[in-house]
Every structure is written in C-alpha cells, then in structure tokens.
Amino acid sequence: MAHNEKLALRMELPPATPQPNVYPLSWHAQTHKLEEIWDAAQRENWDPKKLPWDTLDVDSYSWEEREAIAYWWTLLSVFDASAPPVFASALIKTYEEHEEDPVRRCFFSITRDEQNHEQMCGLTIKKFLDYHDPLTYEPKTELGRRLQKNAKWLYYNGGRYWNGYKNAVPKYSLAVLFSSFLMGEIAAATIFKQMYENSRELVFKEAFRNIGRDEGRHMAICMALMERDYPKLAAEDKSLVTKQIRAGYLFLSAVLFEPPMEFWDLPEDFIPNQREAEEVARGAGFGIPTYEAKRENWRNAILNLKGVLDRYGIPFPAIPEVGISGEEVTEVDMASIVPVF
Ligand SMILES: [Fe+2]
Ligand SMILES: [Fe+2]
C-alpha cells in the first residue's frame, strides 16, 4: 500500500486495525473489586510536598545521622525511582491488551503512587544532604563516604535490572507479571508499616503511613487480578511464576533484608557499611527494623504469598535463607527478572 493511498475513497469501512493496538476504545468492566480500589486510590491520593515538613529540623541531627538516614532513602530509591517507569510500561501493556477499563485505571494509580514515593525519597534526601543527588554529593563523614560507595554499587545493580525488565514485559503475560508485582507489594506493605511504627519524626510517620496504605492497595490490585486469571493459568506460566518468585526474593532482599551476594554484584564491605548506617539511623529515631525483625517479616511476607499461590496449585520456590522449603530454582540473574517494589 502506498503510504498516502486513500482507502476511504474505495472502501465503505476501513480495514481491521492490526493488534496489539495501543488504545482500546472500549470501557468494558467485569472485575468489580478493581472499581472499588480505584475509588479508594482517588480518595487517598496525597501530596508529599504537603507533609508537615515545617516540623522537621535537620540541624537537630548530626552529619553522620543525616547521611545514614539519607542512605536508607537512597537504597529505597533504587527500587522506588524505577517503579514509575516500570509501572508505566505495565500500564501501556494493559492498553495494548485492551484490558478492562478499571484495570487500566488501577495501573495508572500505581504509576502515580510510585511517583509520589519517588518524590518522597527525593525530598528527604535533599533535606538531609542539603544536595540534590546522593551519588555526586560530597560526603561530610567517613561513614558517609563508605555509604556513598554502597549507593554507587546499588545504582549500578539497579541499572542492570531495568534492561531485564524491558525485555520481560512484552514476553510475559500480565498474569505472570502480577505474581512478581504482588511479591513486591506484600513486602513493601510490610516494611512501611514497621517503619511507621518505629519512626519518631512526624514527617516520616505520615509518609510511611501514606506509602504503606498505597502499597496495600497495590497488593489488592494484584490479588484481584490473580483471582480473575489464575484459575485458568497455563502450566508453563505456572513454572515461570515459580522462577519469578525466587528472583523476587533475591532482588527485594536488598531493601527488605540484606542483599544476597550471589545475585547482587557488591563489594565485601557493603553489608558491614549498611549495618553500621542502620544502627546510626535507628539511634536517631529512624525506624529501620533490626536484622532479626527484618528476617521475620520477610519470612512472613513470603509465607503470605505462598498461601496465595498454593490456592492455585503453583509450586513455590525453595527460599532456604528464611527457612522455606520448596522447588529448587537455579540460574536466576538480573537479566531475567520482573519484580518491582
Ligand atoms: Fe512504592
Ligand atoms: Fe507499590
């Protein structure tokens, strides 16, 4: 067909539009639960800029405390600053697949929420470091210098994950993607609840309460979609899900527990530096859970997920790190993972 041939001159109706076409022109809806979640997302939307920032006095913290707290938010940003593009890609996929109208809106709401979470990371880091970028900031303390090295390695590893994700999105069905998303959301809902309970600073308490509520909704979105799609999940998709759960464990452990060294490419002093920073931050009233509490919570989050997948007869991977037995999954690398936060 010549580029500018006018089909309309010789055809009554246009030819069928090749699929996948990015816009559905249809607002079909079957999953009622998602409409409720969307309504909640509209009601609960919040603005990080409007938190009680005037109650925060950064000068009441030492520079070591400031750098330790900013480091935690930097670690979180490795996950939360990649979440807006990650969910934006998933949102596009829901349009290409002509998903239900409320599914499209729910993914839009996740993208917007994650953008809020990213803003929160940025606002805090800027306040605590008095600088806009933790990677090019000039550290003030010796611990701060070691933490910046940690941050650079985290950033490098996160970059490898993005390429894997971009390849995975067109390859996998939304149903497979949901299981990875769910893992991130269960984990996130857990950690933010703890951070809320254990943090002293009002602005952080408010932020963690809002973020935790957002993550709870994201979790509900994934659950509703799994309820819809998993009863008819194909066998090969089931084994993909098993593999993605193991990948999700390895990836998300970096923020929820400690990064498994066989998966993350990190220097040997990474974990000792991070533990030191967490101790300093906790001492300053910033609620990072202890090693034991993290392990316990991560284990519970994973058991929760296992409960969901068991319902659909999906084999669960072995996660010996937190004492969960199951199917052995090997050969997981950054180039083949989907999990997000
Ligand atoms: Fe988030
Ligand atoms: Fe989320």
Reported as a single tens digit per residue, the pLDDT across 280-314 is: 999 999 999 999 999 888 888 888 889 888 999 99
251 CA distance to ligand 2 centroid (A)?
15
Mean pLDDT of all residues in 128-150? 98
Reported as a single tens digit per residue, the pLDDT across 228-237 is: 999 999 988 8
339 CA distance to ligand 1 centroid (A)?
12
41 CA distance to ligand 1 centroid (A)?
14
Whole-number Å distance between alpha carbons of 191 and 214:
13
Which pLDDT belongs to residue 164? 79
Residues 178/233, Cβ–Cβ less than 8 Å: no
Which pLDDT belongs to residue 147? 98
Residues 179/244, Cβ–Cβ less than 8 Å: yes
Residue 25, pLDDT > 80, answer yes
Phi then psi dihedrals of residue 52, to 5 deg: -75, 65
Three-state secondary-structure class, residue 321: helix
Which helix (H) or strand (E) is 308 found in, with range? helix 291-311
Share of the chain above pLDDT 70, in %: 96
Closest-approaching ligand to the CA atom of 117: 1
Mean pLDDT of all residues in 163-189? 83
Residue 177, pLDDT > 90, answer no
Whole-number Å distance between alpha carbons of 157 and 42:
34
Three-state secondary-structure class, residue 150: helix
53 CA distance to ligand 1 centroid (A)?
20
What architecture (CATH level 2) is domain 60-336? Orthogonal Bundle (1.10)
Mean pLDDT of all residues in 143-148? 98
First to last CA, the chain: 45
Whole-number Å distance between alpha carbons of 30 and 42:
20
Instruction: Quote the Cα angle for 333-178-182, to 5°.
Output: 85
Which pLDDT belongs to residue 281? 98
Residue 337, pLDDT > 70, answer no
328 CA distance to ligand 2 centroid (A)?
28
Closest-approaching ligand to the CA atom of 82: 1
Tell me the average pLDDT of the chain. Answer: 91
What phi-psi label fits residue 203: left (phi over 0), alpha (psi between -120 and 50 degrees) or beta?
alpha
Closest-approaching ligand to the CA atom of 181: 2
Three-state secondary-structure class, residue 202: helix
Mean pLDDT of all residues in 240-265? 89
Residues 38/105, Cβ–Cβ less than 8 Å: yes
Whole-number Å distance between alpha carbons of 302 and 186:
8
C-alpha separations of 166 from 113, 156, 279 in Å: 21, 16, 36
Closest CA to 324 of 308, 301, 340: 301
Calculate helix-pair angle for 202-229, 174-198, nearest 10 degrees.
Answer: 150
